[in-house]
Amino acid sequence: MNYEFDFGLVLSHWRVFVWGTWTTIKMTLIAAVSGLCVAVVCAWVKTSGPRWSCWIVNAYIELIRNTPFLVQLFFFFFALPAVGLRWSPFVAALVAMIVNLGAYATEIIRAGIQSIPRGQIEAGKALNLKPWQIFRYIVIGPALRTIFPALTSQLTLLMLSSSVVSAISADDLTSVASNLQSQTFRSFEIYLCVAAIYLALAIGMNGLFKLVRRRFLDYPQQGVT
Amino acid sequence: MRTFGVAEFLFILDAARWTLALSLVAFIGGSVIGLAIALGRVSRRAWIRTAVAAFIAVFQGTPLLLQLFIAFFGAPLIGLSVDPWVAASVALSLNSAAFLGEIWRGCIEAVPRGQWEAAHALNLTSWSRMRHVVLPQAFKIAVPPTVGYLVQIIKGTSLAAIIGFTEITRAGQIINNATFQPLMVFTTVAALYFLICWPLSLAAGRLEQRRSLL
């Protein structure tokens, strides 16, 4: 083993890595917010929508959960343009991430909604609250508290799996690393550093979620008393 | 230019055995290391627990794709030939070990405390307490989530396509480059994965349900 490590090269290209990291964070944020919106709608349909719409949502969830993210990405990027839907790698990657997260988060959110005792919802109905008021004032708080750990680890997984979108060169952290490695052939050093950046992001996200939970979700609730 | 026909379909179908083979290798490797991880997590020695926790944090906190890249590009540095098979097997095994280890730790800890104490009261050594009392019971608890995790492993093998391992996804890319019929090709690819994974997901759900009824 007489390989000379050269991490100086990575350091001298730090701007590229910062840019890639920023793109990854941006994609994760957009996909997380939109994906959760999709999931809330699907969870609502699954718990209280009509039969036929339940089937559609179930089919969507099973399809996404039983195929790899990479194949979904290829489908959105290569297959859909063939039927006239053209988009850039960045948008295709985002759509794939949103669709993917939506399916996983639906099941989590549904579990949260079902963890609310029936009596509380009936109490809301008895007080003549509208369905969205019941959702907003009765369901969402305790449900969020129950599913918070599962949901946040799903979001961390989303951030990590966003590295896969480098397969269609969507400008994320792994893509810029791949470009740099094809110019410099310092693959090992580059990927080691990029892995470290992902690890730091994952640890940062966990820390952030812990803070959020302590501030907003732990009993006794702050700001209410 | 070729069109997507029976021969192309068979080419992709043929690649399915490499997906299955890689999944099997990753599952076996991941189980062996994962069991060590799970036992390390419940070890009495603090330094073992810390070391194992660090292993899990690293492998669960970095993308599987990067682990594949590092195994693939790192292998030549320690004198091994660059072989997608080896790199993919190593990376997927270690990754699965981190996740399976964490799942199984939960199963080991789910064995009622009284069982541990009973074994202790019978003066069993810590080895035979694990071997004859705790692990057999933990095994039953572990079956549903482990079957569920198999689906994750199979889906994870698709990433090996990126380092050039010819399994279903890579076969799909090759056929797509030859036929330019992405809709056909990737629908077929997705359908194959679905046919492999869905029965496993259903089985995991069934087993989970049956266990919760007990």
pLDDT at B102: 95
CB hemisphere CA count around A92 (13 angstroms): 26
* A7: number of Cβ within 10 Å: 12
Residue B182 lies in a domain: yes
pLDDT band at B36 (very low <50, low <70, confident <90, very high): very high
Q: Which residues of B touch A111 (CB under 8 A)?
A: none
**Mean pLDDT of the region B188-198:** 96
Residue B80 domain-assigned (yes or no): yes
Question: What angle (nearest 5°) sits at the alpha carbon of residue A197, between those of residues A194 and A198?
Answer: 90
**Nearest chain A Cα to B198, which residue?**
A66
For chain B, which residues lie within 8 Å of any Cβ of chain A, measuring from their own Cβ? Answer: 57-58, 60-67, 69-70, 73-74, 77-79, 151, 155-156, 158-159, 161-162, 169, 172-173, 176, 181-183, 185-187, 189-190, 193-194, 197-198, 201
Tell me the chain B residues in contact with residue A71 when contact means C-beta distances shorter than 8 Å. 158, 169, 172, 186, 189-190, 193
- Whole-number Å distance between alpha carbons of B26 and B198: 19
* Per-residue pLDDT tens over the stretch A32-51: 999 999 999 999 898 888 88
Q: A126 CB contacts (<8 Å, ≥6 apart)?
A: none
pLDDT at A187: 86
Is residue A221 predicted with pLDDT exceeding 70? Answer: no
B106 falls within a domain: yes
Looking at this protein, which amino acid is placed at residue B22?
L
C-beta atoms of B162 and A167 within 8 A: yes
Domain that holds residue B124: 6-209
Mean pLDDT score of chain B, rounded to an integer?
A: 93
Are A96 and A69 contacting, i.e. CB atoms less than 8 angstroms apart? yes
| ipTM of this complex prediction, to 2 decimal places | 0.92
Q: What percent of chain A has pLDDT over 70?
A: 96
pLDDT at B78: 78
Pairwise CA distance, residues B107 & B127, whole Å = 17
| Per-residue pLDDT tens digits for B104-151 | 999 999 999 999 999 999 999 988 999 999 999 999 999 999 999 999
Question: Nearest-5° angle of CA B145, CA B148, CA B153?
Answer: 120
pTM score of the predicted model = 0.91
Q: What is the pLDDT of residues B38-86, one digit of tens each?
A: 999 999 899 999 999 999 999 999 999 999 999 999 888 877 777 899 9
User: Is residue B214 assigned to a domain?
Assistant: no
Whole-angstrom distance, CA of residue B37 vs CA of residue B50:
11
CB crowding B157-182: b at 16 or more within 10 Å, else e? bbbbbbbebbbbbbbbbbbbeebebb
- Domain-embedded: residue B83: yes
- Residue A27's pLDDT is what? 96
- pLDDT for residue A220 is more than 70: no
Torsions phi, psi for B81 (to 5 deg): -75, 155
Mutate to test the interface with B, among A78, A100, A104, A189 (most CBs of B within 10 A): A78
Upper half-sphere CA count for residue A34 (Cβ side, 13 Å): 14
- Search chain B and give the residue with CA nearest A197: B62
Domain for residue B1, yes or no? no
Is B14 among the domain residues?
yes
Least Cα distance to A105 among A52, A53, A34 occurs for A34
Distance CA B9, CA B188 (A): 8
**B193–A174 CB contact, under 8 Å:** no
CATH number for the domain that contains residue B45: 1.10.3720.10
Give the C-alpha separation, B190 to A74, whole Å.
10
In this prediction, residues B149-160 reach a mean pLDDT of 96
Task: Supply the pLDDT for residue A2.
Answer: 62
Give the pLDDT band of residue A225 (cuts 50, 70, 90).
Answer: very low
The per-residue pLDDT for A140 is 81
Query: For chain B, what is the domain count?
Result: 1
Which domains occur in chain A, in start order?
8-217 (1.10.3720.10)
| Cβ separation A1–B78 shorter than 8 A | yes
